[in-house]
Structures are given as structure tokens and as C-alpha cells.
């Protein structure tokens, strides 16, 4: 049996033999361009490593020292420049930055996503919102923080504003796509029964997509927590990120770096477990 698809540049020829089917695929332009791109990047990477100016550095000695530093960092964690209570307070600041920026981002995004969804808004309004949030999302969070720091100054205000802005751009896309996946038959049935736009949103769209909205919100909270760690050091907002910067760049205490890394890892795992349990309970209550 022979199968030919003329809509693209891929042709599949299947022929039954005693061993099974033989599939021959002719690559199109897009596959060839991707292959050439990957090959070019691979060649440039190899060339870059080959032409590095090591300035007399011994790779064996450098590797041994790196392994020793990793051993000290992760197998001998300790702290000496702050107490455990101080560490808990600093991690609380970081969690606060992430939670506040996520909360504000979810509230604003939920409102904007209703007008960005194509099945709930006009095409003009939807496309306008999508274009704006795409532009915001294309710029990294750290750049938004630095830009807003010009107006608000370095500190927690600039960090929260930058994280909220990027969170809105991310969540509007996620929420609007969730709204667009709602069965169109449900929306049409409500419209036919005389329900207005607000009734459709509150009685069909939000209840149907609540689980998805919760998942996206917690995903963004976890992202904002990790961003807050970095922004606490880069933008002077404090938190555990500032302690990590001091330990790695000022004190150069590898044991303290290891302790802070483990501390952040424990909090991140705890957030993941909490979000999983909350989603399970929410789904159970919703199904009941």
C-alpha cells in the first residue's frame, strides 16, 4: 500500500513485506533547515571549546578543585554568618514576595483573560490583549524589575511590580487558553436560555476551568518563588537570595552556600507537595 500526502513535503510509502511495513520518509524544507541549524550550532560549540584560551589552566587540576568544592558545598553544609531563625525569616521574606506577586497577578489575569479568550470576547479586543501580553512575556522578569526600579527604586517594590507584570503576561495566556477549551455547546445552551455574559462566566466558564486555573496559579507561584530568590539579591529586596549572594560572593563560604541551597530545595519540594494535595482535595470536592 502506498500513501502520498500532497499537502506537505512529506511522502510516506508503506509496503507490506514478510517482515512488516517499510516506511520511507522524504524530508521537507522545515526538517532540512532544523537539521542544518542544529549541525551549525554543534560545530560552533565544538569550535568554541577548541579555541578557548585556557591561559595555562590545567583541566585535570581544575576538575579536581571543582569536585572538591562541590563536595564541600553539598556534603558538608553548615552556616556561620546567620542563625537558623534568621534563615527562616529570610525564607519568609522570599515566600512573601512570591505569594504577593502571584496573588496580584492571578486577580489581574483572571479579569484580562476573560476578554482575551476568543469565545468570550470580540476578536479585536482578544487580539489586542494577546499582542500586549506576548510583548511583556518576551522580556525577562529581571529586565522588567530593573526598568521599574528606575521609577520605584531598588527594593521590594520594584521586585513585586516586575514579577506581577510578568505573571500577568504568563497567566493571561494560560487562563485564556483554558477558557477557550470550554465546550462551546454549554456556552451556546446558556445563551439560548437567556443567560448574559456574566452568568456564562460564573456558572459555566469558571467552574469548568477551576482546576486548570488552580494548577496554573500554583505553577506560577513556584516560578515566582525561584525568581524572588534571584531578585532578592539582584534588586536588593532581601530574602534568602541576598544571603546566598553574600555567602557565595562576599564570604565565599561554600558550606553556607550548600546549606542555603538545601534550604531552598526543601521549601520548593514542600510547595510542590502542598499544591498537589490541595489540587487533589479540590478535585475530590468538585467531583462530589
Q: Using CA atoms, how far apart are residues 156 and 53, in angstroms rounded to an integer?
A: 41
Number of domains in the chain: 2
Q: In sequence order, what DSSP letters do the residues of 47-110 get, joined into one string?
A: HHHHT---TT--HHHHHHHHHHHHHHHHHS---SSS-HHHHHHHHHHHHHHHHHHHHHHHHHHH
Asked if residue 74 belongs to a domain, the reply is: no
**CATH no. for residue 279?**
1.10.3720.10
User: Within this chain, do residues 127 and 265 fall inside the same structural domain, yes or no?
Assistant: yes
More confident residue, 184 or 4: 184
User: Within this chain, do residues 123 and 229 fall inside the same structural domain, yes or no?
Assistant: yes
Asked if residue 261 belongs to a domain, the reply is: yes
User: Within this chain, do residues 181 and 133 fall inside the same structural domain, yes or no?
Assistant: yes
User: Within this chain, do residues 40 and 110 fall inside the same structural domain, yes or no?
Assistant: no
User: Within this chain, do residues 48 and 152 fall inside the same structural domain, yes or no?
Assistant: no
b/e burial code for range 152-164 (CB count within 10 A of at least 16 → b): beeebebbbbbbb
User: Within this chain, do residues 184 and 238 fall inside the same structural domain, yes or no?
Assistant: yes
Read off the C-alpha cell for 59.
583541566
Asked if residue 69 belongs to a domain, the reply is: no
Asked if residue 279 belongs to a domain, the reply is: yes
Query: Is 50 a residue whose pLDDT tops 90?
Result: no
Quick one: what percent of the chain has pLDDT higher than 90? 33
User: Within this chain, do residues 283 and 165 fall inside the same structural domain, yes or no?
Assistant: yes
pLDDT, position 287? 52
pLDDT band at 124 (very low <50, low <70, confident <90, very high): very high
Query: Is 132 a residue whose pLDDT tops 90?
Result: yes
User: Within this chain, do residues 242 and 108 fall inside the same structural domain, yes or no?
Assistant: yes
Asked if residue 95 belongs to a domain, the reply is: yes
User: Within this chain, do residues 88 and 17 fall inside the same structural domain, yes or no?
Assistant: no
More confident residue, 244 or 57: 244
Asked if residue 26 belongs to a domain, the reply is: yes
Q: Which domain holds residue 135?
A: 82-287
Asked if residue 67 belongs to a domain, the reply is: no
User: Within this chain, do residues 98 and 181 fall inside the same structural domain, yes or no?
Assistant: yes
How does pLDDT run across 219-258, given as a tens digit for each residue?
A: 899 899 988 888 877 776 778 888 888 888 888 889 999 9
Q: Using CA atoms, how far apart are residues 123 and 170, in angstroms rounded to an integer?
A: 20
Quick one: what percent of the chain has pLDDT higher than 70? 87
How does pLDDT run across 158-197, given as a tens digit for each residue?
A: 889 999 999 999 999 999 999 999 888 888 888 888 888 8
Query: Is 96 a residue whose pLDDT tops 80?
Result: yes
Residue range 17-37: average pLDDT? Answer: 71
Residues 6 or more apart in contact with residue 204 via CB below 8 angstroms: 182, 186, 187, 190
User: Rounded mean pLDDT of the chain?
Assistant: 83
User: Within this chain, do residues 56 and 94 fall inside the same structural domain, yes or no?
Assistant: no
Asked if residue 201 belongs to a domain, the reply is: yes
Q: How many other CB atoms sit within 10 Å of the CB of residue 42? A: 10
Residue range 64-79: average pLDDT? Answer: 90
User: Within this chain, do residues 195 and 125 fall inside the same structural domain, yes or no?
Assistant: yes
CB 261 within 8 A of CB 73: yes
Amino acid at each position: 500500500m502506498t500513501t502520498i500526502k500532497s499537502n506537505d513535503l512529506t511522502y510516506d510509502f508503506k509496503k507490506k513485506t514478510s517482515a512488516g511495513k517499510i516506511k520511507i520518509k522524504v524530508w521537507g524544507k522545515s526538517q532540512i533547515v532544523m537539521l542544518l541549524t542544529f549541525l551549525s550550532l554543534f560545530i560552533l560549540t565544538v569550535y568554541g571549546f577548541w579555541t578557548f584560551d585556557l591561559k595555562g589552566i590545567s583541566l585535570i587540576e581544575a576538575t579536581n578543585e571543582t569536585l572538591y568544592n562541590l563536595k564541600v558545598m553539598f556534603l558538608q553544609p553548615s552556616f556561620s554568618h546567620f542563625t537558623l531563625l534568621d534563615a527562616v525569616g529570610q525564607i519568609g521574606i522570599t515566600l512573601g514576595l512570591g505569594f504577593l506577586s502571584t496573588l496580584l497577578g492571578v486577580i489581574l489575569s483572571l479579569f484580562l483573560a476573560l476578554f482575551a479568550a476568543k469565545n468570550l470576547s470580540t476578536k479585536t479586543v482578544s487580539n489586542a490583549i494577546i499582542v500586549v501580553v506576548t510583548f511583556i512575556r518576551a522580556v525577562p522578569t529581571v529586565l522588567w524589575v530593573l526598568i521599574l526600579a528606575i521609577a520605584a527604586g531598588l527594593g521590594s517594590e520594584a521586585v513585586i511590580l516586575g514579577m506581577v507584570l510578568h505573571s500577568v503576561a504568563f497567566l493571561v495566556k494560560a487562563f485564556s487558553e483554558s477558557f477557550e477549551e470550554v465546550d462551546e455547546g454549554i456556552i451556546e445552551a446558556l445563551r439560548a436560555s437567556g443567560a448574559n455574559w456574566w452568568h456564562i462566566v460564573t456558572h459555566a466558564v469558571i467552574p469548568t476551568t477551576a482546576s486548570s486555573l488552580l494548577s496554573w496559579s500554583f505553577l506560577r507561584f513556584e516560578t515566582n518563588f525561584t525568581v524572588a530568590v534571584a531578585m532578592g539579591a539582584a534588586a536588593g529586596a532581601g530574602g534568602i537570595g541576598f544571603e546566598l549572594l553574600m555567602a557565595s560572593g562576599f564570604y565565599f563560604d561554600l558550606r553556607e552556600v550548600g546549606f542555603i541551597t538545601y534550604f531552598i530545595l526543601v521549601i520548593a519540594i514542600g510547595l510542590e507537595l502542598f499544591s498537589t494535595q490541595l489540587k487533589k482535595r479540590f478535585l475530590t470536592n468538585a467531583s462530589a
